[in-house]
């Protein structure tokens, strides 16, 4: 009789769960073995790719709420945002939020030490940050504004959307506001890494893209918080607003007083990063390791 663990996967044209977990753990071993230069460069690449998806999502959702309603406007953002993770997964760039699952799973399964894991996290995080900031600068001085002959900038409708998104992301205040941010971050990287699992489950490009698209669409549409995406969204809003500081007030829109370089960290990214780590390391890596430990040990 065929082993059900493998037969189901074969019939569905995808890897069975235990093999997905094992493959993720092996990928974690590979990732911690990268050189520092590789971690930084691939991290930079991933930061720009996430930013590309975020930039597309910002553009596509602009003006949709008035005609489609709030829900469908968010869906327009969510439906286009996944392009970043699709590029990352298919081209081998390094994303911190994925490494928050891959590397711990490698430690659980293969018993590697945590020193190399922390090095991977730190260098990829820095690379992601630099890449996100770089692309934010390109957008804030490119598609989101127009310049007169004298160099005076005028923020366009897409730039105003970027400012609005950034303002919303630093609007968490008080204990319960921060708790809400933290919970959104946990949920975010829980579902992001399930998308990673689904992409590894499939052997063909179409299957990988679909496996990524549905969960990432769900997280972006729902409004969860992704620390690397926010490294693009918030700086883009800050840089774009600096081009024309009175643009939102002139349009009758409010901008959070926390939309600045300090508020970016204290009112979003620090707590979002911690929540993302928990979502990936506990709710995906640890639970799947415990849930399939007996089968993993028999491989």
- pLDDT for the residue numbered 128: 98
Residue 204 lies in a domain: yes
Residue 27 lies in a domain: yes
Q: Rounded to the nearest 10 degrees, what angle do helices 36-61 and 227-243 cross at?
A: 60
What percentage of the chain carries pLDDT values higher than 70? Answer: 96
Residue 266 lies in a domain: yes
Q: Mean pLDDT, to the nearest integer, of 180-187?
A: 98
Beta bridge partners of 202: 14
Residue 265 lies in a domain: yes
Count of Cβ atoms closer than 10 Å to residue 299 Cβ? 11
Residue 2 lies in a domain: no
3-state secondary structure at position 145:
strand
- Output the six-digit token pair for 166: 């950034």
pLDDT tens figures, 115-163: 999 999 999 999 999 999 999 999 999 999 999 999 999 999 999 999 9
Sign of CA dihedral 235, 90, 58, 198: negative
Q: 218-232: b or e for each residue (b if 16 or more CB lie within 10 Å)?
A: bbbbeebbbbbbbbb
CB 100 within 8 A of CB 128: no
3-state secondary structure at position 254:
coil
- pLDDT for the residue numbered 262: 98
- Output the six-digit token pair for 253: 């829109």
CA distance 34 to 40: 10
Task: Tell me the CATH number at 159.
Answer: 1.20.1080.10
- pLDDT for the residue numbered 232: 98
Q: The tokens 């991290």 sit on which residue?
A: 43
Q: Mean pLDDT, to the nearest integer, of 215-237?
A: 98
Q: Return mean pLDDT, the chain.
A: 94
Q: How confident is the model at residue 203 (pLDDT cuts 50, 70, 90)?
A: confident
- Output the six-digit token pair for 49: 């790719």
- pLDDT for the residue numbered 13: 65
Phi/psi at 153 (nearest 5 deg)? -95, 145
Q: Based on the structure, what is the number of domains in the chain?
A: 1
Residue 108 lies in a domain: yes
Q: How confident is the model at residue 111 (pLDDT cuts 50, 70, 90)?
A: confident
pLDDT tops 60 at residue 10: no
pLDDT tops 50 at residue 4: no
First to last CA, the chain: 18
Residue 9 lies in a domain: no
CA atoms within 13 A on the CB side of 11: 7
Residue 7 lies in a domain: no
Q: How confident is the model at residue 90 (pLDDT cuts 50, 70, 90)?
A: very high
Q: How confident is the model at residue 15 (pLDDT cuts 50, 70, 90)?
A: confident
- pLDDT for the residue numbered 6: 47
Global pTM reads 0.94
Q: Mean pLDDT, to the nearest integer, of 76-103?
A: 97
CB 68 within 8 A of CB 152: no
Q: How confident is the model at residue 2 (pLDDT cuts 50, 70, 90)?
A: very low
pLDDT tops 50 at residue 1: no
Q: Show the domain range for 249.
A: 14-297
């Amino acid at each position: 009789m065929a082993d059900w663990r493998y037969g189901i996967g074969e019939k569905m044209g995808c890897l069975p769960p235990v093999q997905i977990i094992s493959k993720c753990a092996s990928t974690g071993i590979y990732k911690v073995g990268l050189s520092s230069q590789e971690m930084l460069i691939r991290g930079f690449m991933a930061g720009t790719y996430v930013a590309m998806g975020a930039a597309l999502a910002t553009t596509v959702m602009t003006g949709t709420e008035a005609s489609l309603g709030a829900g469908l406007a968010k869906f327009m953002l969510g439906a286009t945002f996944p392009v970043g993770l699709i590029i990352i997964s298919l081209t081998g760039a390094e994303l911190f939020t994925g490494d928050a699952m891959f590397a711990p799973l490698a430690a659980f399964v293969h018993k590697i030490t945590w020193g190399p894991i922390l090095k991977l996290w730190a260098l990829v995080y820095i690379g992601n940050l630099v890449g996100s900031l770089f692309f934010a600068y390109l957008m804030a001085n490119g598609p989101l504004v127009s310049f007169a002959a004298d160099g005076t900038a005028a923020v366009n409708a897409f730039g105003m959307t970027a400012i609005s998104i950034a303002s919303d992301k630093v609007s968490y205040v008080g204990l319960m506001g921060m708790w809400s941010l933290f919970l959104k971050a946990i949920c975010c990287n829980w579902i992001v890494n399930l998308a990673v699992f689904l992409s590894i489950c499939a052997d063909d490009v179409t299957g990988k893209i679909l496996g990524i698209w549905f969960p990432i669409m769900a997280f972006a549409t729902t409004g969860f918080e992704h620390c690397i995406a926010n490294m693009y969204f918030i700086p883009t809003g800050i840089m774009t607003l600096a081009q024309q500081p009175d643009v939102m007030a002139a349009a009758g829109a409010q901008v959070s007083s926390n939309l600045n370089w300090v508020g970016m960290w204290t009112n979003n990214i620090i707590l979002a990063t911690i929540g993302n780590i928990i979502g990936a390391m506990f709710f995906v890596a640890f639970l799947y390791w415990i849930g399939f430990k007996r089968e993993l040990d028999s491989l």
